Structure 1
Amino acid sequence: MADEFGRITRKDRFEKKRTNTKAITWLSILGGVLVVVVISLIVFGGDDQDAPVANDDEENNDTEEIQDEDPDEHTLAEDQDELEVEEDELQVEEIETEEEEQEQNNESVQLNEVESDDDNVRSAYEGNWDPIGTEQEEPHTTTFDKDSVDWQEMMKAVEVATSIPTDEQVTWWFGRAGDQRAEATISPKSNQDETYRVTMEWVEEQGWQPVLVEELIENEHQ
Structure 2
Amino acid sequence: MKGNSRESRFGKREKRKKTNIILNSLIALVIILIIFVSAKIFFGGNNDQAQTADEQTASENNSKQNEKNKENQNKDAEEDKGNVEKDAEEDEKEAEENEAEENEAEEDSEEEKEQVVTEGGSAPDVEKTIENSAWKPVGTSQSGEHTAVYDQNHVDWQEMLSAISYATGVDQGNMTVWFLGNNGPNSSVGTISTKDQSEKYRVYIDWVEGEGWKPSKVEVLNAI
State whether TM-score is above 0.5.
Answer: yes
Larger radius of gyration: 2
What amino acid maps onto 2:175 in structure 1?
V
Relative to structure 1, is the Cα distance of residues 93 and 192 closer, same or farther in structure 2, using a 3 angstrom cutoff?
farther
Of 178-187 and 92-101, deviating more is 92-101
Relative to structure 1, is the Cα distance of residues 77 and 147 closer, same or farther in structure 2, using a 3 angstrom cutoff?
farther
2:23 corresponds to 1:17: yes
Of 203-212 and 97-106, deviating more is 203-212
TM-score scaled to structure 2, two decimals? 0.72
Relative to structure 1, is the Cα distance of residues 6 and 193 closer, same or farther in structure 2, using a 3 angstrom cutoff?
same
Identity %: 28
Relative to structure 1, is the Cα distance of residues 11 and 157 closer, same or farther in structure 2, using a 3 angstrom cutoff?
closer
Match of 2:201 in 1: 196
Give how far 1:104 is off: 0.9
Give how far 1:165 is off: 5.7
Q: Aligned partners of 1:37 and 1:205: how far apart in 2?
A: 99
Out of 127, 146, 149, which is 1:122 matched to? 127
Q: Which runs of 5+ in 1 are unaligned?
A: none
Relative to structure 1, is the Cα distance of residues 83 and 62 closer, same or farther in structure 2, using a 3 angstrom cutoff?
same
Q: Aligned partners of 2:173 and 2:101: how far apart in 1?
A: 15
Relative to structure 1, is the Cα distance of residues 139 and 114 closer, same or farther in structure 2, using a 3 angstrom cutoff?
farther
Given that 2:116 and 2:130 are in contact with CA atoms closer than 8 Å, whether structure 1 keeps it comes out as no
Given that 2:115 and 2:130 are in contact with CA atoms closer than 8 Å, whether structure 1 keeps it comes out as no
Match of 1:187 in 2: 193
Match of 1:51 in 2: 57
Give how far 1:59 is off: 2.9
Out of 34, 45, 69, which is 1:28 matched to? 34
Match of 2:175 in 1: 170
Of 192-201 and 68-77, deviating more is 68-77
Q: Aligned partners of 1:96 and 1:148: how far apart in 2?
A: 34
Give how far 1:182 is off: 0.7
Relative to structure 1, is the Cα distance of residues 64 and 142 closer, same or farther in structure 2, using a 3 angstrom cutoff?
same
2:219 corresponds to 1:214: yes
Count of residue correspondences: 216
Relative to structure 1, is the Cα distance of residues 130 and 206 closer, same or farther in structure 2, using a 3 angstrom cutoff?
farther
- Cα deviation digits, residues 182-205 of structure 1 (max 9, x gap): 11223357x732211111223445
Given that 1:122 and 1:214 are in contact with CA atoms closer than 8 Å, whether structure 2 keeps it comes out as yes
Q: Which runs of 5+ in 2 are unaligned?
A: none
Given that 1:131 and 1:209 are in contact with CA atoms closer than 8 Å, whether structure 2 keeps it comes out as yes
Give how far 1:78 is off: 5.5
TM-score scaled to structure 1, two decimals? 0.73
